[in-house]
Amino acid sequence: MSDKPQIGIVYHPNYFIHTNDNHPEKKERLQAILTQLKEEELFVKLQQLAPYPATADEIGTVHTKQHIEHLRGLCERRATYLDPDTYLTPQSYDVALLSAGGALTAMRAVMDNKLKTCYALSRPPGHHAEPNRGMGFCLFNNGAIATRHALEEYNLSRILYLDWDVHHGNGVQKTFYHDPRVLFVSIHQSPAYPGTGHVNETGEGEGKGYTVNIPLPPGCGDRHYAKVFDQIVMPLADKFKPELLMVSAGQDAYHEDPLAGMCISFEGFANMARHAKKIADKYTDGKAVLFLEGGYHLRGLSEAVITILSEFGGWERPINPEPAPNMTPMYDDPDAIIEAVKKASMLLNS
Ligand SMILES: [Zn+2]
């Protein structure tokens, strides 16, 4: 490898075209991240990669032809919504291809040893999009498409797919529910959108045991997430020994996020990134691909993304010490859920 930074981001100005001023998933999210990177003069520490529009064939390795054609037709007819949560613009189909292409670009940059870590700052996000439908602000499942191509193009057999977006990554789960080559681990708020991700959803057929859901009640904070990493995520990685790490890194567990009720501070995000990097360093020769998903508090999103990049890049940038409120989790006892997840995991008990 050269002296160039070993960490990079993928983005494109056309990611701003898919936007809606009255919706939380708007272009200002990505603009906030890029503005802060610029203000802190951090672009010199990053390789910047441009995405390409993924082809319908590439998308078709995860999504049905019907879904792809339906979305294309809706945009052509200038429809404004795919479902009540998910807006469209006439350009959204093309931007969604570019968003998926960003995830593929990030994955190949890492697999071809051009970078150790690459964060695809793709919009629209992807982890809710299921094989036969988009939903939850997501049109195509960027992370699932990149994962499928990593399996096929690089002949991998063990990918750890970690999803710490505050919402359950139902689309990724569904894509690989029967596939033991992808260990899908999701930490999410429950109850919350989309309502899936229960402890007893553990995979089916050959994939049995390779889906692990950790549904935490609202009000959980850094110490609960730290316990999840120490007692579930790290032991799972030690059992599975991944060849590649993928992360659906949405930052809506941030304590001020308007769409969720978790209490994660920037130190909390740093801790998650530190653990993820530890897994990559131990098992994947450092290879990690991250995908932007949610995160709707603009300053919280940008600060969290930069905190994560800083941990993966080994930058000497102090972690923003802003404290998160110490709330009492509601409805359920997180410690009891962690125990239930450990009990339900075939991999941890093997
Ligand atoms: Zn989310």
Judge contact between 131 and 174, C-beta under 8 A. yes
Residue-wise pLDDT tens digits, 297-313: 999 999 999 999 999 99
Residue-wise pLDDT tens digits, 205-229: 999 999 999 999 999 999 999 999 9
Judge contact between 105 and 149, C-beta under 8 A. no
Q: Which two tokens stand for residue 93?
A: 């189909």
List, by residue number, the catalytic residues: 128
Q: Please give the model's pTM, rounded to 2 decimal places.
A: 0.98
Across 120-129, average pLDDT: 98
Report how far ligand 1's centroid is from the alpha carbon of 293 (Å).
Answer: 6
Between CA 188 and CA 330 the distance in angstroms is 14
C-alpha angle with apex 334: 136 to 186, nearest 5 degrees? 35
Judge contact between 186 and 169, C-beta under 8 A. yes
> How would residue 3 be classed by pLDDT, with cut points 50, 70 and 90?
confident
Which amino acid is located at 238 in the chain?
D
User: Among 324, 325, 240, which residue's Cα sits nearest to residue 282?
Assistant: 240
Q: What's the start-to-end Cα distance of the chain, in Å? A: 38
Which DSSP helix (H) or strand (E) runs through 32?
Answer: helix 28-39
* CB-count exposure of residue 38 (10 Å: 0-12, 13-18, 19+): exposed
Residue-wise pLDDT tens digits, 133-188: 999 999 999 999 999 999 999 999 999 999 999 999 999 999 999 999 999 999 99
Judge contact between 234 and 275, C-beta under 8 A. yes
Between CA 23 and CA 66 the distance in angstroms is 27
Report how far ligand 1's centroid is from the alpha carbon of 167 (Å).
Answer: 4
Model confidence at 4: pLDDT above 90: no
Query: Residues 143-158, buried b or exposed e (16+ Cβ, 10 A)?
Result: bbbbbbbbbeeeebeb
Residues 6+ apart with CB under 8 A from 163: 127, 143, 169, 172, 184, 185, 186, 187, 188, 247, 248, 250, 293
Count how many residues are written for the chain.
350
Identify each DSSP E strand in 30-145 by its residue range.
Answer: 47-49, 81-83, 86-87, 117-120
Report how far ligand 1's centroid is from the alpha carbon of 166 (Å).
Answer: 5
Report how far ligand 1's centroid is from the alpha carbon of 324 (Å).
Answer: 19
| Domain annotation for the chain: domains and CATH numbers | 7-344 (3.40.800.20)
Between CA 74 and CA 52 the distance in angstroms is 22
